[in-house]
A and B are shown apart, each in its own frame.
Chain A
Amino acid sequence: MENALALTALNKSFPSHKVVDGISLNVPKGCFYSLLGPSGCGKTTILRMIAGFAEPDSGEINLNGKRLNGLRPYERPVTTVFQSYALFPHLTAAENIAFGLERRGEKPAEIAPKVKRMLELVGLEHRADRVPANLSGGEKQRTALARALVVEPELLLLDEPLSALDPALRKRVRLELKQLQKQLGITFLFITHDQEEALSLSDQIAVMNKGKIEQIGTPQEIYLAPATRFVAGFLGAVNWVDGIGIRPESTRISRQKPAEPTKSTTAKVVTSTFLGDCFHIETTTENGTAITAQVAFNEEPFAPGESVHVYWHASDELPVRG
């Protein structure tokens, strides 16, 4: 597939440390691409360099074959959905959405129908004349999204756009965001520290740590075949048994020694936590390794202090290299 965005050997240092360390990645056209990593890993700095708010010390930023380095933010065919939304408080939702079109010198007669269509697309027709102070969190988020999308950018940057929403709303908006991206076919570069968000939304994920890329792949690839211990641990809980990683949902537990040919070890139950859809059973082996197993909600509960066998299939071991 043709690439929209290409970052080549991007470097950026702040006085205290190197925030972006030799980043190269390609974002295919129309892709929902996520940069996933803990705060301070450099993902926001990468976004700011693509948008033009910061310049890389070295390296290239190319978008659809055009070099972006050195261009002012207003010269780049890129828009951003900010974490804080950064809506203009003196303008209504419709005026906020029209802002970018006006700056491009479009005439009011061309702008009005585009704003109307965009308001319909994000379901805010009834909120067109409200200023941001009178919009709910979700409505602000959708206004910010509409404002950035209406100018038909070659690339949309999203800086943790869901983090200010409450959890229930976040899941719904997530679905809407994914649908919108597929519908419009615009390339999305999504910045997040939330692995669930990245896994559920993305076509491709680049996992970052300390200014470097740890792994690039589809959600399944990075979850099921993490390249490094960091990736394995960042994407979900992992039991580390003699240097081998097994996710709790692949770890089984029983009172009898398992008959089938599996890897097993004896352990004692430490705690058993009921989570509604499952139990998390924390155990510890004789040599002190902690292993957590996820057990179905309808199984007979295990009690703390009970001696059990913990086992797993070799095929479920994470093929971690580094």
Chain B
Amino acid sequence: MKGKRFTGTVEGWVTVIRRKLSAGELGSLPVVLVLAAIWIVFQSLNPNFLSPRNLSNLSVDIVGTGLIAVGIVFVLLLGELDLSVGSISGLAAAVFAVLNVNSGVPEWLALVVAVLAGTVAGTVQGYSFARTRVPAFVVTLAGLLTWNGLMLSILGTSGTVNLDENGLVAELTSYYFTSDAVAYAVAAVGAGLVFLVAYQDRRRRQAVGMPHRSLGSIATRTGVVAVIAFAAAYVLNRFQGLPLALLIFLMMVAGLDLLLRRTHYGRQVYALGGGVEAARRASLSVTRVQTAVLAISGTMAAIGGLFLASRITSVSQSSGSGVLLLNAIAAAVIGGTSLFGGRGTTWSAVLGMLVIQSIASGMAITDTPAAVQFMITGGVLFAAVVIDSLSRRSQEAHGRA
């Protein structure tokens, strides 16, 4: 009897998975496979790749760009692109460095002002984009130049500013919770929350007699999350413990995921990505949502910029330039957020950054030249975009069938 029920559930899953695949809802499956492949390849090339030390460093290295990529996810959901995030991240770092180091403003105040500078820059761009209806990538291209110029003028002649090695911002990426208990507690809380939310949903649906998840599927979900979380905690504890940066990153991603998927505001963002005209007819305030999205993107860029500055404890004229912008956009897209708008979650920024940083780290560890690294990352990005486009097309074809 039990065996029969089990086969029944398995058959149910197979049908659901097959339906999702044929409907083009691949979700994060491809990127997880790519990540696994990358890890296997580099581990076989160099056994140090999956060492606790390397993985721990990897988990801190993804944070700065990852936070910027989370902001990019919001913009991509609208079907737009924000090219100014690199410059804004540099601007925020410069504001912080000049205020704190050169002018002696308290660290916390300088930090707040720096983040707000990003918010303001994003809001200005968002409002002009929403009002003029010039595509966001053009508005933010202008922003890219403007904010970069502003950063250079703020830094002035000094060029490079070194941050306090033991200051608040430096601690952002250098602090580790050395006690083993912290990492395990965070893992337990994470898995517990996943279980509670799913269980509560099941109970409410059951109460009103609607279809609900089986206890088994809830247990499987929670189990998968718990295994990943506890494995990560175990590995991190074998080096220096849970990095503060990683904790902040994951909390922000989870919080913004909640905002996007469980609030009125988030629903509006998705709706705008699905069709501006439809959203307008449903009397959503398009201008306000578009402005807010770019404001969030600017804010996240500023926060990411501070983490990047913290990693090298200095701010220079080259902060926020180079491949940072491209990596942030690539991370969001590789992670599974659609370039066409309306599909994706903040978690894709985490997955995408893991892929990009794993490639970078593996290349460094195996002494491969940077040129090859760029080409491989480019290849992965191309594959991600193709998958995105194909799955979108198959979804539409599925609708007509």
A binds B: no
Seen from chain A, the residues whose Cβ lies within 8 Å of a Cβ on chain B are none
Seen from chain B, the residues whose Cβ lies within 8 Å of a Cβ on chain A are none
